[in-house]
Amino acid sequence: MPAFTNQAQLSYNGIITNSNIATGEIIEVLSANKSSTPETYTGNTPVTYIVNLINSGTTAFTNLTVTDNLGAYSFLPTGGAATTLYPMDYVAGSIRYYQDGVLQAAPGVTADPSLTITGIGIPAGGITTLVYQASANEYAPLADGSTIVNTVSVSGTETASTVSASDTVSVAAGPYLTIFKSVSPRQVAENGQLTYTFDIRNLGNGATSAGDNVQVLDTFLPVLSNITVTYNGSVLPVSAYSYNAITGEFSTNPGVIAVPGATFTQDPATGAYTVVPGEVTLEVTGTI
């Protein structure tokens, strides 16, 4: 709680006399807390932040400014001066503003590059809640164990000092897989041969494990006969997959597909991260 002091002077007949020093203390009635859901982030899913502003006093607060630094951190580029990077972007239009649980009109929002919310009020003895989303961008670290510390600050002419609250989200650990399928040739004569290629990529920070039970499943139409299956260029034994030559249903056995984790490199000049996915290739060749 901030303390303050005050001293007066008495002047008479050219004489100045100082008073004693009066000391007081400002009782802060404004507090804040911040939480997130989920408590992890990826490059694909936004994080929802919930900020509660609590007024334990008997007078309402008006026209407060709430600033979110969106995880700002200092970065020293090669051969340059220190700069600030912002690893999260505000999701436009996501703000919701409540007073004592009642939805209010959307406040003023500026996101360039930190988030500033203006015109916020808190009823006497009440709670104001701000809910909004932010997404990780190219400046967000993605290696296993990385975190983003996100701090919100509240200020205004009616506050004795700036009130702040922080929340930490951790990068989601484990694999994040995508699959792309292509066919070659695009035009094939009846009773001709074609190859389906499955490009499987891992954008996550962890390799797949046996417990992930990774499988490729497909139903080939037209049905293929006399299939050959290769994995990263090597022929798979028939014990590694199952195939129904009548229905065209195909699946690799759990654990046959193992995808390495992605690697992440931060550009020494810009601070942006480059993601190089782990990748494996499965090919199925057969006659239609």
pTM, two decimals, is 0.81
pLDDT at 80: 87
Helix (H) or strand (E) holding 251: strand 249-252
As a whole number, mean pLDDT of residues 102-109 equals 97
Q: Check: CB of residue 130 under 8 Å from CB of residue 97.
A: yes
Please tell me the predicted confidence (pLDDT) of residue 43: 80
**What radius of gyration, in Å, describes the C-alpha atoms of the chain?**
30
268: left (phi over 0), alpha (psi -120 to 50) or beta: alpha
Residue 101 main-chain phi, psi, to 5 deg: 85, 0
Token pair for 133:
């989303």
Res. 3: pLDDT tops 80: no
Q: Closest Cα partner for 162 from 93, 24, 64?
A: 64
pLDDT at residue 221, as a whole number: 92
Report the distance separating Cα 188 and Cα 224, nearest Å.
Answer: 13
User: What mean pLDDT comes out for the span 243-252?
Assistant: 97
DSSP-derived 3-state class of residue 262? coil
Question: Which pLDDT belongs to residue 24?
Answer: 59
Residue 25: the pLDDT is 63
Q: What is the pLDDT of residue 185?
A: 94
Q: Which domains does the chain have, with CATH numbers?
A: 30-171 (2.60.40.740), 177-287 (2.60.40)
Q: What is the pLDDT of residues 49-61, one digit of tens each?
A: 999 999 999 999 9
Give the three-class secondary structure for 258.
Answer: coil
Looking at residue 19, its pLDDT comes to 85
For 259-277, give the DSSP string.
-PPPEEEE-TTT--EEEE-
Going by DSSP bridges, is the β-strand pair 3-12/15-25 parallel, antiparallel, or unpaired?
A: antiparallel
- Of 49, 6, 5, 4, the closest CA to residue 28 belongs to 4
On average, the pLDDT of the chain sits at 94
